[in-house]
Amino acid sequence: CEFLKNLNVLYLSNNKISDKGVEYCAKCYFLKSLTSLYLKSNNSSKKTIKRCIKNNKTIFPKLSTLYYS
């Protein structure tokens, strides 16, 4: 996924992303340039998003905006 290494904003809202999908995204080192991530209206829980993404500053050091519900 070399072509994603400079990606700043990722819109994944209104998809059917499960908790497992969120967990996978949280491990994607190639997304480390993200500054904004949109995960609204998916099949993932707020608890999983907070645990995997919001608290994961090592994978997403530049993330300043996270939208989920």
Instruction: Assess whether pLDDT exceeds 80 at residue 13.
Output: yes
Q: Which pLDDT does position 52 carry in this prediction?
A: 86
Q: Band the pLDDT of 64: cuts 50, 70, 90.
A: very high
Decide: 44 and 17 in contact? Cβ < 8 Å. yes
Question: What's the mean pLDDT in 10-15?
Answer: 96
Task: Report whether pLDDT(2) > 90.
Answer: no
